[in-house]
Structure 1
Amino acid sequence: MAPEVWTVVNLEPYRQTLALPGLRSLLLVAVLARIPLTATGVTMTLHVLDLGRGYAAAGLVGAAITVGAAIGGPLLGRQIDRRGLRPVLVLTAIVEAVYWATAPSLPYLLLLPAAFVAGSLALPIFSVVRQSIAALVPEEQRRPAYALDSMSVELSFMVGPALAVALATAISAQTTLYLVGAGIVAAGVAFWLLNPPTGSEQQPGTPRRRVPRREWVTPRLLAVLAVSLAATLVLGGTDVAVVAVLREGGEVGWTGAVLAMWAVASLVGGFAYGAVHRSFSPLALMAALSLCTIPVGLGGSHWWLLCLALIPAGALCAPTIAATSDAVSRLAPAEVRGEAMGLHGSAVTVGIAVGAPLAGAVIDASAPAWGFAVTGIIGALVALAVLPIELRRRRASAAPVPAEPELAATTTL
C-alpha cells in the first residue's frame, strides 16, 4: 500500500481499540449471538406460509414483533439502567424460550398476540452491545469500536437469514423455529455469563443519581434518533426495491448476489469509517446515503448494473449506523444510557419496518425504480428538517463543547 494511502486508512485505531479489556470478547459473542436474531424474520415468514396463510399474514406477525420491540426496547433499557443487565437477560431469555417453544404449535390468531409480547420482551442484544461499547471504550476511541460493531451486524445478517432458509429447506420451517429459539436462548445465556459492563453500574452504598429526561432527551438527541430512523427507512426500502427491479427484468435469481454485493460494500465502508483519521457526522452520512440511493433504479434492471449502482449507497450503510450509535452514546449520561440505546434501537427498528412496506406501496403504484427514489427523497427531507436544530444550537452556543457530537458535517464524533 502506498504511504499516502496508508496515512488515510490506518489500522492503528482498530489495534488500539481491540486491545481494550473486554471489547474483543464482547464483539465475538455479539456477532455469534446476533445470527439467530437475524434469522427470526424469514423463519417466521416460512412458518406462517406453511400454515396456509399468505405473505400479508406473515407481514402482520412481523409487524407485531416490530411494534412490540419498538415499545419494549426503551423500557428494557431503563430496567438495565436501574437493576443491571443480568436480571433483564434472565427475564427476556425465559420469554424467548416460552415463545419459540410454543410458536410452532400456536394457531395463527394466537400467534399474533404472542408475537407482540415476545417482541416487547425480546432479548436486547443489539442495544446492549452498543451500550457496553460506550462503557468499555473511551470517547476518543468509540468511532472504530462502533464501526466494528456495525460490520459485525452486517456479518450476522449475511449468515442468519441464509442459514435459516437452508435449514427450513433441508428439514422444515417448524423445526427451524425450534432451532432459532434455542439459538436465541443460548445467546442470552452467553451474555449472562459474559456480563459486559453497561455504564450504569454503581459502587455499593453509593446513591444512584437520578437524571431527569428533560436533561438528556434534548432536541439534539431527538435529531439523532430521527436520522437513525430515516437511515434504516432508506435501507428497508432499498431491500424491497432491489427484488422488484430484478423481478421486472427477469433476473430475480441474481437477488442473492446483488444483496451480497450491497453488504460487502457496507463492510468496506464501515472498515474505512473506523480507520480514517477524519470523523463524519450522522447527519452528513445519512444525507449522502439518501442522495446516493435516489438514482439507483435508473441504471436499468440488469443485475450487474444494479450491483454497481448500489456500491456508493452500500458503502455508507455501516458508517451511518455506527455514527448514530456513537452520537447517542455521547449525548446520554451513563445512568440512562440503556434507555437511550433502547430508543435508538426502536428508531432503527421502526425505520426498517416502515421503509419496506412504503417502498412496496410506491412500487405497486408506479415502477420499481421509484422505490429507491421515494425512500431516498424522504431521507433527504429528514436531513433538511434536522439541520436547523443543529444550526440553532450553534448560534445559541457561545463556545462549542468538544466532547459532544455534532450533527453538522464538520463535527467530530
Structure 2
Amino acid sequence: MTLAMVLVVREQGGSYPQAGLVSALYTVGMALGSPLVARLVDRRGRRAVLVGTGILYPLALAGLVWATEPGHWAQPVLAVVAGTALPPANSFMRSLWARLPLRDDERELAYLWEAFLTEVLVIGAPLMLAALMLTGSAGVALTVVSALGGIGALGLALTPLPEGADPAPGGAAEASPGSLLGPLRSVSMLALTGAMALCAVPIGLMTLAIPAFVDEHGARGSTGLVYACWGIGSALGAVWLGRSQSQVAAHLRFPRLVLAFAVGTGLPLMATSPLMLGLALAVGSAPIALVSACEMSLVSTVADSRSLTEAFTWASLATVAGDAVGLQAGGLLMEPFGPHGVFAAAFGVALAAAVAAFACRGLLGRHAGTSVPTPSAGR
C-alpha cells in the first residue's frame, strides 16, 4: 500500500516529498490507530469493528485517489484515516487460532501455514500491483487492492465461528483497565515484542542491500528474481522443516530458530555475484517463516487471552518498526560501507537478536494468567 500511494501521488503530478509525506502519514495512522482498533475487537467483538473498518478503509483510500490532489489538505488527512481504519483482520485471525479448541500441534500448524502464506504474499502482492497497473493506473490499482482488503474484512466478520471463539465483551477492559499499553504491561510480552523488533531490523537492512549489490554487479534487471529467491527459500523452509518443530516447546525453539536465522543472514557475505547471492538468500532464508510462526505461537501463550487481538497487533507493529529502522540504517550505511557492509550489519544485528532471544527464554516460558483452554485428547 505504501508503494502504491507513492505511485498514485506521483501519477497525480505530486513531488516525491509530497508522495513520501502521504505514505508516511498512512503508516503513522496505522501505528497509532491499529492497537486501539484491535482493543475494540477484544472489548466489543469482531463483527462491528470488522464491518466498520471494512467499509471505511476502502472509502478513505478511494477518496484519497479520486477526490483529492497533491497539496490539498484532505489528502494527508485521508491518508491518516485510511491507516487508522486498516481492518484488523490479520490480528483477529491470529487470535482466533489461539481461541479455537485446538491441540497444540494443530495450532502451531495453523500459524505455520499463515507464515507460509505471508511469504507467498511477499512475492505475489507486488506482482499483483504491477499487473493491475498494466491494465489501468496506479489509482485504479490502489482502489482495487483496498477494495479487496475491505471485502476480506467483511467476509471474516460474517463468517460463522464456533461458540466461544469470539472475544468476550468487556474482556480487554478487565485485562488492562485504563492502560494505554494494554498487553505490553506484561514483561513477557514486552520482551517478546522487543525480540521481534530486533529480528526485523536485519530484514530491513537486507531489503536495501540486495538491490544495491545486484546493481553494483551490473545486473539491475535481475533484482526481482534475486528478491524472489529470498521469499521462495523461506516458504520452502516452512513446508520442509515446519512439521518437525512442534516437538520442542515454543519458548525453547524460538532462540534456536533465531540463531539459525542469524547464521542464514551471514551467508550473503560470501556472495560474489547475483547468482551466488540468490542461492545464499534461498538457503539462508529457510528459518524466516519458522521464526515468524514461532513468534505468533508465543504471543498466543504469553499474552492474556482477553486481549489477544491487541497483542498480535502490537507484535505486528514491532516487526514493522524493526523493519523501518533497518531500512533507515541501511540507507545511512550504504554509501560509506557498500552492500557487503550492510550485509555485515544485518548479520551482527541478527546475532544480537539471537542473544536476546536466549536471554529471555525464561520470560517467554511463562504463560499468561488467563489461558486458552486446549483439549488434551490426542496429545
Q: Name the TM-score, length of structure 2 as normaliser.
A: 0.84
Q: Rate the CA distance shift 1:196–1:321 in 2: closer, same or farther, 3 A.
A: farther
The one-letter code of the counterpart of 2:139 is: Q
Distance in 2, Cα, partners of 1:347 & 1:176: 28
Q: Secondary structure at the match of 1:201?
A: coil
Distance in 2, Cα, partners of 1:83 & 1:402: 25
State how 1:142-221 maps to structure 2 within 5 Å. 142-194=107-159, 196=161, 199=165, 201-202=167-168, 210-212=174-176, 217-221=185-189
Q: Does 1:222 align with 2:195?
A: no
Q: What is the aligned partner in structure 2 of residue 321 from structure 1?
A: 292
Distance in 1, Cα, partners of 2:367 & 2:310: 24
Q: What is the aligned partner in structure 2 of residue 48 from structure 1?
A: 9
Mark the runs of 5 or more structure 1 residues left unpaired by the alignment.
1-39, 395-399, 405-413
CA contact (8 A) 1:243 1:252 kept: yes
Q: Does 1:294 align with 2:259?
A: no
Distance in 2, Cα, partners of 1:388 & 1:274: 24
1:319-371 alpha-carbon deviations (Å, 9 max, x no partner): 11111111000111221111111111211222222222321221133201222
1:79-127 alpha-carbon deviations (Å, 9 max, x no partner): 1111000111122123212212111132234433322221122111221
State how 1:14-413 maps to structure 2 within 5 Å. 40-53=1-14, 55=16, 57-105=18-66, 106-109=68-71, 110=73, 111-136=75-100, 137-194=102-159, 196=161, 199=165, 201-202=167-168, 210-212=174-176, 217-277=185-245, 278-279=247-248, 281-300=253-272, 302-390=273-361
Distance in 2, Cα, partners of 1:52 & 1:171: 17
Deviates more, 1:307-316 or 1:43-52: 43-52
Distance in 1, Cα, partners of 2:213 & 2:327: 14
Q: Rate the CA distance shift 1:207–1:401 in 2: closer, same or farther, 3 A.
A: closer
The one-letter code of the counterpart of 2:231 is: A
Q: Rate the CA distance shift 1:96–1:220 in 2: closer, same or farther, 3 A.
A: same
CA RMSD of aligned residues (A): 2.8
Q: Secondary structure at the match of 2:175?
A: coil
CA contact (8 A) 1:139 1:330 kept: no
1:245-296 alpha-carbon deviations (Å, 9 max, x no partner): 1111111111121111111111111123431154363333223323421341
Q: Secondary structure at the match of 1:108?
A: coil
Give the number of equivalent residue pairs.
356
Q: Secondary structure at the match of 2:338?
A: coil
Shift in Å at residue 315 of structure 1?
0.7
Q: Rate the CA distance shift 1:401–1:295 in 2: closer, same or farther, 3 A.
A: closer
Q: Rate the CA distance shift 1:328–1:272 in 2: closer, same or farther, 3 A.
A: same
Distance in 1, Cα, partners of 2:240 & 2:347: 23
Distance in 2, Cα, partners of 1:377 & 1:122: 34
Q: What is the aligned partner in structure 1 of residue 377 from structure 2?
A: none
Q: Rate the CA distance shift 1:243–1:122 in 2: closer, same or farther, 3 A.
A: same
Q: Name the TM-score, length of structure 1 as normaliser.
A: 0.78
Shift in Å at residue 306 of structure 1?
0.6
Q: Rate the CA distance shift 1:169–1:334 in 2: closer, same or farther, 3 A.
A: same
Q: Rate the CA distance shift 1:76–1:247 in 2: closer, same or farther, 3 A.
A: same
The one-letter code of the counterpart of 2:198 is: A
Q: Rate the CA distance shift 1:201–1:123 in 2: closer, same or farther, 3 A.
A: closer
The one-letter code of the counterpart of 1:287 is: L
The one-letter code of the counterpart of 2:114 is: D
Shift in Å at residue 45 of structure 1?
2.4
Distance in 2, Cα, partners of 1:196 & 1:348: 29
Q: Percent identity?
A: 27
1:230-249 alpha-carbon deviations (Å, 9 max, x no partner): 22222222222111111111
